[in-house]
Amino acid sequence: MRDLNLALWGPSAAGKTALLAQLYDRAHGDWTIYPTAESLPFIERMQPVLQANNLFPMATSLGNPERIVYLFRNHETGAAGTLHVEDRAGKDFEERNEETQERLRSAEGLVLLFDPARDPQKLAGEVRATLQRLQVISERGSEKDSRPIAVCLSKADLMIRTPGDLRRVREEPDAFVRERMAPGLADWIERFCSNFRLFPVSAAGVRVRRGVVQPVVFYDERLQFRIGHGGEPINLIEPFLWIFEQLEARP
């Protein structure tokens, strides 16, 4: 593995900041993520929010992107790499911010994050608009985007009802999402992308007790949305590792 410049994008409130914060703080099997000078301010700001107060992060402010660099190391294989991403407000891309569009155009791989809790028509419209804009700013004409693109549905805990669902989001993530996507949405992705995979992700996760899946997110007495204890986040590192694998396999 090597230094990889990826772009993470999603509409406002899709969960980008929570994903990046939990990506660092949670265990990932054989993989460990280490901080850098660029990422340390973000990590130190997020840890009290998530770990001490069990709150979701505030939305990233418009026009104030935060550069985050994580070091990945697999202690079984020795594989190592560096992930460079930016946490930007969704509005930066929605409002055609030139710097944001250039970041998306020049990235080696993309992680696109969408909120499945939105109205299905609005969700489908956001996916179509994103892919269309990427096609234009990348100046590919009629050629499909050959970069590895992980299309992720956030808040996957809302879609998990049974232990069987939980097993499938881990073992068959692409199939799980396809079965729950709005009709025709996969056709739009295939129109513009030649190398993509679908992932259900959740920064909060769920917990299983006595064979029953339980949600961990809740509203407190002040109607603040919180993350309860005992949840295991879902597919936080998997989209990034898939992109790493795809890029490493290229000649």
Mean pLDDT of 100-117: 87
CA atoms of 227 and 49, how far apart (whole Å): 10
Check whether 46 has a pLDDT greater than 90.
yes
CATH number of 33's domain: 3.40.50.300
Tell me which residue of 181, 184, 172 sits closest to 238, measured CA to CA: 172
Q: Compute the mean pLDDT over every residue in the chain, rounded to the nearest whole number.
A: 88
Q: 197: domain range? A: 3-248
Residue 34, pLDDT score: 95
Tell me which residue of 44, 42, 62, 40 sits closest to 52, measured CA to CA: 44
What residues form DSSP beta bridges with 200? Answer: 153
Q: Which of 15-24, 132-141, 165-174 has the lowest mean pLDDT?
A: 132-141
Check whether 183 has a pLDDT greater than 80.
no
Confidence bin at 88 (pLDDT 50/70/90)? confident
Task: Give the chain's domain count.
Answer: 1
Mean pLDDT of 10-28: 89
Residue 72, pLDDT score: 94
Tell me which residue of 35, 38, 13 sits closest to 25, measured CA to CA: 35
Residue 35 phi, psi dihedral angles, 5° rounding: -80, 165
Instruction: Give the Å distances, CA to CA, from 170 to 26, 33, 167, 177, 235.
Output: 16, 20, 5, 11, 7
Residue 96, pLDDT score: 66
- Tens digit of each residue's pLDDT (9 = 90 or more) over 139-160: 888 999 999 999 999 999 999 9
Q: How far is CA 177 from the centre of its chain?
A: 14
- Tens digit of each residue's pLDDT (9 = 90 or more) over 203-230: 999 999 988 999 888 877 787 788 888 8
Dihedral (CA of 14, 154, 183, 162) sign: negative
Instruction: Give the Å distances, CA to CA, from 27 to 106, 112, 124, 232, 234.
Output: 30, 23, 33, 10, 11
